[in-house]
Structure 1
Amino acid sequence: MTSAASDAVRVRFLISLADGTWVEFADQAVSATQLSVSGLQVYVRELSGLDAIVLHDAEALFRQPSPTVRMEALTSVQGLPTATCITDLPPHARPWQQPGWFTQAAAWLLGAVHASGDTATGPVRQISTYDLACVLYVETAAGGAYLKAGDGSREAAVTTRLAALQPELTVPVLRAALSRDWLATRAGGQRLSEVAELNPWQEAVTHLAAIHREVDPSVLRGLGCPEFPFRRLVEELEALVKSEALTRVWDQDEATRTRLREALPTIRQAHGRILALDLPERTVHGDAQPMNALVGADGVRWFDWSEAGVAHPFLDIGWLLAWVSLRPSLPVRTTHPQLVETLWEDYLRALGTAKTGAAWQDARLLALAHRVLAYEQRFRSWEGTVSGARPYVPYYLKLLIKLAEEA
């Protein structure tokens, strides 16, 4: 099978079979529209007749000039040319990027579903896989269940603890294996980003404020989650401007360094206005954007606590408002053009903070600065499966500079 698309990439497929051998399909033309778990699964099924799961992060691999896509067959087909000598897993391969993991994890998820009194009504499917996590899903009589395996982010531990403390604010947990960072949860409904009605958005920020008010930061400290002292944020950003890491690790040119340096006074002023509120650092979600909130029959629930920590609460609401403000085509914004301002005011009321000189744009700017610094700290020495690839920092740095220049 080949693709005639002009954006096709020549790909080598290696597919692990149940008997320990591998089948190779070299020089296959795969288009950009097929660079997803489901797209590659369809491609391989049409190519070989095999049902297979993706072992390796296809999107990261496709940044390479001649990528090898590794997959694992879940079925068998007679007559495929196989070889026993191919064992080249990618460097630093995560457990879910190795043959055999899917079968074990799928059985664990089905066991969690059964133990909860629910029944699977379909096969376990792979939803996504990359260096930081893998997600599986199974349809059930009660509406579905997910398994997420993380790369040591403590998400399973944090979600389990928060579900016990604030069960109405996060997704129901079916089972957790903390030593492996495996988490099985019930499906929770529709993503907030897809919802056009205003009420669920208001409920989401109210719940976010409730987390900030009611979950003692000592809970996350006890789980080893990171802390981000807000008072030092600008100081740390200034250090990054001067650091060799900006060019050596993150491949940013001197023009970017200059623009970031020139943006510092604007960022410092916004920082000062928020500091003047004298709010304590609290439990934060860490990635509080609408793709991580679910709207179901029992209300809005936050999930994906992989970046939870202790920090200024405005870093959560600031990131949510940044995400929303940069997407004018969101369904809810077409019917509620003042959405950002409405959510900001609702959040302040729910947190119990009177309106002051700090604006939502200040929170947005500082939230982006925080994301630059948090990811720079986390991924500076990170080793992934694609040489030289480190996530997130360049994207958020570019966005921070742009918004500071527009302020």
Structure 2
Amino acid sequence: MGRVVTLVLVDPAGTVLGALPPYEVDLPWWQEVADVVAGARAHHGVDVTVLRLLFTDQPAPPGGKVTYLAEVAGHPGPVRPAAAALVPHPRRAPYAEIGGPAASLAWAEAALAARGRRLTAAAQQRTWNLSAIWRLETDTTPVWLKQVPAFFAHEAAVLRWLGEHCPGTAPVPLAADGGRVLLDDLPGTDRYGAPAAERLLMLSSLHTVQLVAAGRVDELLALGVPDQRPPHLAERLRAVVARDAAPPHADRLAALLHGLDDRLAELSACGLPDTLVHGDFHPGNVRGAADRHAVIDWGDSVLGHPAIDLLRMCERLADPEPLRRAWARSWRTAVPGCDPERAVALIEPLVALRNAAAYAGFLDAIEPSEWPYHADDVPYWLAQAAA
């Protein structure tokens, strides 16, 4: 299952030129645009930069017929008549604006030059409401340009903090500016599908980070890391239920929230410290090889309870118990007298609701044309929480 792509073309002055005839690409995921760019070149002889989603024929990804706005510098040749309302939107990411990607590439080129390196080629990999990613070739080794929206802008500061306090656990920025960050290439692959033994190493690496971070929470708050410790977490959970819960799940979700403050107080009494939480700690957000790796994509990071990351890493494992036991042993060793198993039991029913709140936050922060990316996420996670 792939996508059928239509590109509405706009020039750097903001003039809509028309649309290219549709073509197919293999990957169904709407945010992946490397094959969209390659397809425009292969099918139509046009070099484009994809800016943002315009509309689709289905309410949520993946697959289907997808129309993007794409910027083109030269004359595209024959195009079909097309219209696009290029109305500014206050929640549009800078890299989704006409000229936005070019400005970011110019920044990256200058940042490389300041370090004695020369940009030789740039290839767009991904763009959507959560990030834009480019692979940049240089006269030495490849680098990656990542740009995130304002609500993830603390990622670069977190990466710098990790480089200072926990070296080797995450990529270190070569340069950063607002939501832009330039990163050296990391050898290896994204570790999707990693077996349990490899996930144990990932948890061990993150445990080291979280022990250090637990003693430096004020520093991380000052860097802009969002606060999701119990009072703030409770507020978010109640808000998403009040706004988005509907039959048949509303009554069960109300029951889940009953006694929430007592549950969170008992969670704190288990003795595990609040710390830096990655927020999306699955194997695909770890890059490297089976025996060495770095944790990537810290945009979802918050201050909160470390069991959140354990439960994410345990997803889709036939038997997660060995990971849970090893994680609990690590925390009992680090914090004598704590009760990790009880902490997991207390927070596990809340994690799906926390996920619903996270996606609701995305919807609040992005422009409506990008909502289809997350259209199913809030109701899905509310249903999981109710179950």
TM range (shorter): 0.7 to 0.9
1:400 pairs with 2:385:
yes
2:3–2:65: 8 Å Cα contact kept in structure 1? no
State the shift of 1:365 in Å.
3.2
State the shift of 1:387 in Å.
7.2
Quickly say closer, same or farther: Cα 1:371–1:351, change in 2 above 3 A. farther
> 2:97: which partner in 1?
98
Q: TM-score, normalised by structure 1?
A: 0.74
State the shift of 1:194 in Å.
4.5
1:72 pairs with 2:52:
no
Quickly say closer, same or farther: Cα 1:8–1:134, change in 2 above 3 A. closer
Corresponding residue to 2:268 among 275, 287, 296: 275
Corresponding residue to 1:369 among 350, 353, 366: 353
Cα distance in 2 for residues equivalent to 1:348 and 1:142 = 42
Q: Quick one: which amino acid aligns to residue 349 of structure 2? A: L
> 1:405: which partner in 2?
none
The percentage of aligned residue pairs carrying the same residue is: 21
1:384–1:390: 8 Å Cα contact kept in structure 2? no
Cα distance in 2 for residues equivalent to 1:346 and 1:228 = 25
Q: Quick one: which amino acid aligns to residue 54 of structure 1? A: V
> 2:36: which partner in 1?
40
Q: Quick one: which amino acid aligns to residue 36 of structure 2? A: L
Q: Quick one: which amino acid aligns to residue 275 of structure 2? A: R
Note the 1:246-261 alignment, pairs <5 A. Answer: 246=244, 252-261=245-254
State the shift of 1:368 in Å.
2.9
> 1:212: which partner in 2?
210
Corresponding residue to 1:51 among 47, 51, 74: 47
Cα distance in 2 for residues equivalent to 1:108 and 1:226 = 27
1:159 pairs with 2:159:
yes
1:294 pairs with 2:287:
yes
**3-state SS of the aligned residue for 1:169?**
coil
Quickly say closer, same or farther: Cα 1:351–1:183, change in 2 above 3 A. farther
Note the 1:116-265 alignment, pairs <5 A. Answer: 116=115, 123-140=121-138, 143-152=141-150, 153=152, 154-178=154-178, 181-189=179-187, 190-196=189-195, 198=197, 200-215=198-213, 216-230=216-230, 233=233, 237-238=237-238, 240-241=240-241, 243=242, 245-246=243-244, 252-264=245-257
**3-state SS of the aligned residue for 2:249?**
helix
2:25–2:39: 8 Å Cα contact kept in structure 1? no
Unpaired runs of 5+ in structure 2? none
State the shift of 1:52 in Å.
1.2
Deviations 1:355-385 (A, max 9, x none): 5552745544333333333444x34643414
Cα distance in 2 for residues equivalent to 1:58 and 1:45 = 20
Quickly say closer, same or farther: Cα 1:382–1:188, change in 2 above 3 A. same
1:319–1:368: 8 Å Cα contact kept in structure 2? no
Higher alpha-carbon deviation: 32-41 or 166-175 = 32-41
Cα distance in 2 for residues equivalent to 1:132 and 1:319 = 19
Cα distance in 1 for residues equivalent to 2:143 and 2:290 = 16
State the shift of 1:157 in Å.
2.3
**3-state SS of the aligned residue for 2:271?**
coil
Quickly say closer, same or farther: Cα 1:239–1:351, change in 2 above 3 A. same
1:28 pairs with 2:18:
no
Unpaired runs of 5+ in structure 1? 247-251, 403-407
Higher alpha-carbon deviation: 168-177 or 229-238 = 229-238
2:19–2:81: 8 Å Cα contact kept in structure 1? no
**3-state SS of the aligned residue for 1:254?**
coil
Higher alpha-carbon deviation: 87-96 or 145-154 = 87-96
**3-state SS of the aligned residue for 1:193?**
coil
1:21–1:82: 8 Å Cα contact kept in structure 2? no
Cα distance in 2 for residues equivalent to 1:286 and 1:374 = 10
Cα distance in 1 for residues equivalent to 2:331 and 2:72 = 52
Q: Quick one: which amino acid aligns to residue 191 of structure 1? A: D
Quickly say closer, same or farther: Cα 1:206–1:141, change in 2 above 3 A. farther
1:206–1:346: 8 Å Cα contact kept in structure 2? no
1:209–1:350: 8 Å Cα contact kept in structure 2? no
Quickly say closer, same or farther: Cα 1:33–1:169, change in 2 above 3 A. closer
**3-state SS of the aligned residue for 1:227?**
coil
1:54–1:70: 8 Å Cα contact kept in structure 2? yes
Q: Quick one: which amino acid aligns to residue 395 of structure 1? A: Y
Count of aligned positions = 373
State the shift of 1:171 in Å.
0.7
> 2:331: which partner in 1?
348
Q: Quick one: which amino acid aligns to residue 316 of structure 2? A: L
Cα distance in 2 for residues equivalent to 1:23 and 1:236 = 44
Q: CA RMSD in A?
A: 4.0
